[in-house]
Structure 1
Amino acid sequence: MLRHEEKDIILFVGKMEMAHVEDVARFSKEYGKKYLPALITSLGAKVEESLEQRLAFLVRCDTQDMKAVEKRLRPYADRIAAIISRYEFSMPLYGRLADLFPYLRLPTARSLAVASNKINMRRAFRRYDKKITPRFVVVKRYGETAVKKIIEKIGFPCVIKPANLAKSQLVTVCYYKEELKNNLKVTMQKVRKLYHHAKVEWEPTVLVENFMEGQMYSIDAYVNSRGYMEYTPIIEIKTGKDAGYDDFFMYTQITPSILNPKEEEKARTTVAKATHAIGLRSSTVHAELMRTQQGWKVIEVGARVGGFRDRLLNTAFGFHHTGNDFRIHLGKKPTIKRKPLKHVGFIKFFPKKPGHLMALQGIKKVEGMKSVIKVTQNKKVGDFSGLSRYGHPYVLGVTVAAHSRSKMLGELRKVEKLIEIKTG
């Protein structure tokens, strides 16, 4: 059996992209030891040939058959140094692998099951500290009885959300009874299809909770095998609803925030409570929070790196979040820098109404802006473009950076005014 320092494979679970391969290569260079990426995924999963050629190995199998999983991984098991999941849908397999590799630094299968299910997560929060989580009810089927229960126990405004979907899919805010009835009916009609599309293994379930009014923030953190936590700088978030969309998604993400140090410490304490309530260890933690008049509340916590987080933190502070994710799984201390180098903002564009893209204007002008460091286009004219809550990807994402907050906000505003999306 190889010693831990001789192991050289970082195994990704469920899905990976070329960017993850580059993350491993960069980390190897920084760390001074060559690590090789590998992937285990389901039989029907698509893997680009160019990606497969960069992998130490690719295992395709029935990922719910652990005898098959163990058999396929056995030739490489002695070389696996770390196992990483970057996506919510692959958390059940990640948990099964945690049981299969008990001596690697991994979250427990139980903690991953709790972190992947918003209902179990809420229950864990309430047991640990009721103050950090809103009231909620579980809905298994649509009907007048369910609506009456929601109104009596939760009231308005309230939020409908599936228990196991990411990226704000089917998340809707309701302010009155007719809106609740309509949104709940649509959610129950669509939830099974979206679970299947997202490859979620859990049985479709929906919860309805108090709508938390306030300012949204996000923090990624690292928790070691003993529960000790270190935190990355906080991210300030503006939602699509804040920006006038009839949709719920992260419209802008900005760092550094203007939150005062005392409030940021309160936010970190809330993240620690949520992490320990779930029992996560040896993991990166992605936490979404709401600062309300009643204090800090947890929206959700995931055992993974937050979306776009590496780009935001590296540009703003000069450290690689994904490299720290590898470090925490290898039992090494993460490297975190806190002195801002730049002010960074990321903005996502969805259509105001679903339909085929008739026009997508302003991209060339945006790409020509000196402050713009990255433009990601997921849709082109002629493609169907839908709302975030129904599982559709954003049309366009733009990252800007400047040496002052005011300049960065001005550049974000220019991008907002330049981009125009028309659907029909």
Structure 2
Amino acid sequence: MSEPVIVVYTSGSASPLELAADADGFDLLFAVPVDAAPHGLVDLLGVVGEVVDVTDEAAGAAELAARGPAGIVAFSDQDLPLAARLARRLGLRYHTQDTVDAATDKHLQRQRLREAGLRVPRFRLLTGPREAARALAEVGTPAVLKPVRGAASRQTYRLDGPDDALRHASHAFAYGGADRFVIEEMLVGSPSVAGPGLGDYVSVEVLLWRGTVVCQILNSRLPLLEPFREQGFLMPGLLPADVEAEAHRISAVACHALGIEDGWADVELKLTAEGPVVIEVNARLGGYVATLLHRSYGLEAVRLAFEVATGRKPSASLGEPLAAAYCYQILPPVGDLRLTSWGEIAGLTERADVLSVVLTAEAGDRVDWRLGSLGTLGVVEGLTERPEDVLTAVRAIERALAEQVVFSPV
């Protein structure tokens, strides 16, 4: 017999297709504020499960209650607050409001992590651009400006002096869609720890059940593009065993510090010479993780989230990886530019280590580097026999992009 599970969904780290693929044994009830949903999303979700409009939360909760839901999940930061409110109305186990606040507010999160004894970068809260120069003086340079609530490195800037601070803060408050930002110390990563060709940071995907860590999987990253844009991921990760063990320890402490007890958490860590340092904690599955986990370990991450939500102890057993899986995001250069031509970039699929090339921008589109990873123009996904071989595929992708893709000034 199938169990009804509520999925609060407007976007997220699991696509509707991934939700559908892992839904056997579960009836999906999509809680969606229909009036504010992206175009076409409601129709798509209606193919996968039943859509319940929660624009009016009280009425939507009553309709959901009538279905007898056994649990509730969400897969994006922006959906966590609504999921927490619905869980309280329906008496379902979920993150507390305090945990959601700490997971989605970077300033509060830094405070909680510091209180738990974890090393965090120096940080200051900004409520207006005029505070930027003084905050930067207290934090020191180089520093990073980012929204208190935000994801995908959107409106995130490097600051090297007071002129940078005032210029970027003025732009961010005027156009960034947020009323609070943080300036924080820019952590200096150690390339020797990460290894050649890799980014100086990683993420650890943590699955928890009733406060106990069930499993942890390390996910290595490709180097960031200017200023702080995520270029790609690979799994399994490539770290010395002792560094990976410390990354797992810190990630578990960070989850407990925020009160995360159930489901997936995504913990990003900077690899410094003094050891891994928490960049941020997300109380949900990390982006692209469902696909990478399935291809590399055969794990169904979304199903595990459903199991935890409905009270079952998740059946997550990590064996040896089946393969190394990667995802490469095609990002625009910095500048006011337009995509002129893709050339023959789709020909990458002729390579044995490339599974797919999905292009989401068209020739003539204006591109915006300030959107961070939300400004991704396309995605290349693939498999290799060993994690080390991913870098060979990445070099081939980058050569093809340099030779084939053309941008022009607007």
Q: Distance in 2 between the 1:278 and 1:294 partners? A: 23
Does 2:50 align with 1:57? yes
> 1:113 maps to which residue?
101
Q: Distance in 1 between the 2:242 and 2:231 partners? A: 26
Q: Distance in 1 between the 2:42 and 2:97 partners? A: 32
> 2:143 maps to which residue?
158
Q: What's the CA shift for 1:369?
A: 1.6
> 1:289 maps to which residue?
269
Gaps of 5+ in 1: 1-5, 196-203
> 2:320 maps to which residue?
339
Question: Cα RMSD (Å) of the superposition?
Answer: 2.3
Secondary structure of the 1:234 match is strand
Q: Identify which range, 249-258 or 47-56, moves more after superposition.
A: 47-56
Once the two structures are superposed, the pairs formed by residues 25-424 of structure 1 within 5 Å of their partners are 25-29=20-24, 34-42=25-33, 43-45=35-37, 46-48=39-41, 50-63=43-56, 66-76=57-67, 78=68, 80-102=69-91, 104-129=92-117, 131-143=118-130, 145-151=131-137, 153-192=138-177, 195=178, 204-214=179-189, 215-225=200-210, 227-241=211-225, 246-330=226-310, 331-352=312-333, 353-389=335-371, 392-419=374-401, 420-424=405-409
Instruction: Please say if residues 345 and 401 of structure 1, whose CA atoms lie closer than 8 Å, have aligned partners that are also in contact.
Output: yes
Counterpart residue type for residue 342 of structure 1 = A
How many residues align? The count is 392
Q: Distance in 2 between the 1:332 and 1:217 partners? A: 27
Q: What's the CA shift for 1:101?
A: 2.8
Q: What's the CA shift for 1:176?
A: 2.3
Cα 1:388–1:375 change in 2 (3 A) is farther
Q: Identify which range, 12-21 or 258-267, moves more after superposition.
A: 12-21
Cα 1:47–1:342 change in 2 (3 A) is same
Q: What's the CA shift for 1:320?
A: 1.8
Q: What's the CA shift for 1:423?
A: 3.4
Q: Distance in 1 between the 2:385 and 2:123 partners? A: 42
Secondary structure of the 1:271 match is helix
Q: Distance in 1 between the 2:176 and 2:46 partners? A: 36
Q: Distance in 2 between the 1:326 and 1:211 partners? A: 37
Q: Distance in 2 between the 1:141 and 1:160 partners? A: 12
Q: Distance in 2 between the 1:376 and 1:397 partners? A: 5
Query: In the TM superposition, what whole-angstrom CA distance separates every residue of 1:335-374 from its partner, at most 9, and x where no partner exists?
Result: 1324122222221111113422111223222122221113
Q: Distance in 1 between the 2:49 and 2:135 partners? A: 53
Q: What's the CA shift for 1:210?
A: 0.6
Q: Distance in 1 between the 2:45 and 2:271 partners? A: 43
Percent identity, aligned pairs only, is 20
> 2:197 maps to which residue?
none
Q: What's the CA shift for 1:49?
A: 6.2
Q: Distance in 2 between the 1:18 and 1:256 partners? A: 18
Q: Distance in 2 between the 1:310 and 1:341 partners? A: 15
Q: Distance in 1 between the 2:120 and 2:271 partners? A: 12
Q: What's the CA shift for 1:158?
A: 0.5
Instruction: Please say if residues 232 and 336 of structure 1, whose CA atoms lie closer than 8 Å, have aligned partners that are also in contact.
Output: no
Secondary structure of the 1:344 match is strand
Q: Distance in 2 between the 1:209 and 1:17 partners? A: 26
Secondary structure of the 2:176 match is helix
Instruction: Please say if residues 15 and 39 of structure 1, whose CA atoms lie closer than 8 Å, have aligned partners that are also in contact.
Output: no
Counterpart residue type for residue 58 of structure 2 = K
Q: What's the CA shift for 1:56?
A: 4.1
Cα 1:311–1:354 change in 2 (3 A) is farther
Gaps of 5+ in 2: 190-199
Counterpart residue type for residue 212 of structure 1 = L
